[in-house]
Structure 1
């Protein structure tokens, strides 16, 4: 009997964990999100290190964003002869970083899932690359996986997957756009028939690609970004893939946003504690300050990029904003013309927008305070804006020295503004609460000394 550790109990992780348990193996799983269910037959650990301790094989399915940090958490508890299979849809560089992080604590294998785990289950095709690829293939074949070793170079398997993603993710993006167009024209059923007739699996393939693309838009946009980077290295121009990545980001903004309860939970966490939990990476520049004292917010980022001194894009953003959004605006840091005033704030309140963060100037500071509308800005200027454009909505931007993507969680208070990447929101919330608990204990100890 093998001891199998599965890190990440989302869709793919749960499928593999249940398959190994059904095959009579001892399976230990870990996922930091308390809302993720424990698969049947699987023992749940309280940490990554506890899950991997004594394991013969480790399957990392914690998403590309967490691949290296999870490997770091696991390294100290791994057996040196364990096989650590990184199955995250990550770039070759990330897989190499994972191998470097583990560095002798176990034998790292780069794994790439080729095809839909939802459709094929644990019998999905898997490419494997690394010195222990042959052994990893045998371990995966226990649950019926069609595992194919392709060499000893970590990163080779994920490289092939990224090449395939150029086609598959682009096809999924095109299908969602075609169906949305058909729906808007009142011809959805006819359009579905046309697309299904062109696919080998017909309607089943259409449903899988349409639903899967919408459901996993965030992760797939990041995978496409990695594919585009690979094409750039190969000196292959990628306008179609770039468009497909933008389509995924759009879908992520309108269909795959953080749960409102998660956003609200951040309202009680100071930005300082979040910063401590994330190694201080994610703060906007300290020149971006609250317009009025006592303001604080947490919300979902709706990103805006505009030329300095022009607020046409802000007006356009308000037409698509949803309750719970925070407008995060890259205004180039210009302090000569205000991008926001009382009237835009009134419209934002009507849309349920929670506040705005602007790398630029605003005006009507007293009115904003009276409205109770939270705004952080780089400056205050009475001069009004231009309204000519251009501008972009829903793209990843740099604002105040930090990166912000659509749907990231924005938290702001009197100390400043912090951006939490959406895929790391659950893990960050847990870590920030631990920071607060530790601070409370130390505070009490200091006060006891004073008493």
Structure 2
């Protein structure tokens, strides 16, 4: 017989990127962040901006606060509101369940009041116009009017899986119109350095394209090499 679990298991947030580290990701495209991590870190493409009309901020960078819920439940997300700090991204796991909303306008409004910069979830949300009214950006898997429960069990502040990635409290979350990326806390400085290199490479490539480049030089060299066989 399985022992009845506690309604909530909570690890109080103890680590957080510095203000300087957080600022280093401000307005950095998610594609730059992924490139700086050599292709890693992106959440599943099903997790996308809730609103595409420009009525909510299109870019967010902030520390994760995790809330892991079972299917159709939001108890951990509600409990996480008590531990949010200004600028946190509330990462609300829904176990990928699509049968009801993982958050709505009331939860978004409370998260905004608690200082959240955004909500990211692997479930759908509801009350689109109400969420837009709060001004809180969100990334989710879609919309549904169906309501969740809040019975638990759930986990707050602990590592969890969401969108194919491991996310822990204190990791950096960067989100924009392309999707969501997680930067592990231990790699933040490394990735910041990598972003500088990616930015320089992108600027150089932009200049070449603006100058008329149509085919990358290495592709031209490849096409002229013995590594390519031409057939009639």
TM-score (norm 1): 0.43
CA distance in 2, matches of 1:429, 1:365: 34
**Paired residue for 2:131?**
368
1:54 corresponding residue in structure 2: none
Partner residue, 1:438:
201
1:369 is displaced (CA, Å) by: 2.4
Shift of 1:436: 1.4
Alignment of 1:47-446 (within 5 A): 250=11, 253-254=13-14, 256-293=15-52, 294=54, 295-446=58-209
CA distance in 1, matches of 2:133, 2:207: 37
Structure with greater contact order relative to length (CA < 8 Å, sep ≥ 6) = 2
**Residue aligning to 2:229:** none
- Please give the secondary structure, in 1, of the residue aligned with 2:170: coil
Contact 1:299-1:411 within 8 A present in 2 as well: yes
Contact 1:271/1:417 (8 A) holds in 2:
yes
Instruction: Choose between structure 1 and 2: higher helix proportion.
Output: 1
Q: What TM-score, normalized to structure 2?
A: 0.82
Assess if the C-alpha contact under 8 Å between 1:359 and 1:400 holds in 2. Answer: yes
Deviations along 1:1-35, whole A, 9 cap, x unmatched? xxxxxxxxxxxxxxxxxxxxxxxxxxxxxxxxxxx
Distance in 2 separating the partners of 1:318 and 1:425: 25
Deviation at 1:349, TM superposition (A): 0.9
How far has the Cα of 1:261 moved from its partner? 2.5
Alpha-carbon separation, structure 2, partners of 1:317 and 1:371: 18
Shift, 1:370, TM fit: 3.2
Residue aligned with 2:81, SS: helix
RMSD: 1.6
Q: Which residue number in structure 2 is paired with residue 165 of structure 1?
A: none
**Residues 290 and 416 of structure 1 are in contact (CA less than 8 Å); yes or no, is this contact kept in structure 2?**
yes
Between the aligned partners of 1:317 and 1:389, the Cα distance in structure 2 is 13
SS at match of 1:417: strand
Look up the SS of the partner of 2:182 in the other structure.
strand
Cα distance in 2, alignment partners of residues 291 and 263 from structure 1: 23
Larger Rg: 1
CA-to-partner distance for each residue in 1:289-322, whole Å, 9 max, x for gaps? 1001242211111111111111111111101111
- Cα distance in structure 2, aligned partners of 1:320 and 1:406: 11
Using the TM superposition, give the Cα deviation of residue 449 of structure 1 relative to its aligned residue in structure 2, in angstroms. 2.1
Pairwise CA distance, 1:398: 0.5
Runs of 4+ more than 4 Å apart: none
**CA distance in 2: counterparts of 1:436 and 1:416, whole angstroms:** 19
CA contact (8 A) 1:260 1:324 kept: no
CA contact (8 A) 2:65 2:84 kept: yes
**Alpha-carbon offset, residue 348 of structure 1:** 0.8
Contact 1:289 1:416 in 2 (8 A): yes
In the TM superposition, residue 264 of structure 1 has moved relative to its aligned partner by 2.4
Q: Is the 8 A contact 2:27 2:60 kept in 1?
A: no
Aligned to 2:3: none
**Unaligned stretches of 5+ residues in structure 1:** 1-245
Query: What SS is found at the alignment partner of 2:122?
Result: strand
1:362 deviation in Å? 0.6
Displacement of 1:281 after TM fit? 1.1
Does the Cα contact within 8 Å between 1:308 and 1:360 map onto a contact in 2?
no
Aligned counterparts of 1:320 and 1:265: Cα–Cα separation in 2: 24
Q: Is the 8 A contact 2:69 2:93 kept in 1?
A: yes
* Paired residue secondary structure (1:435): helix
Q: Residues 214-237 of structure 1: CA distance to partner in whole angstroms, max 9, x if unpaired?
A: xxxxxxxxxxxxxxxxxxxxxxxx
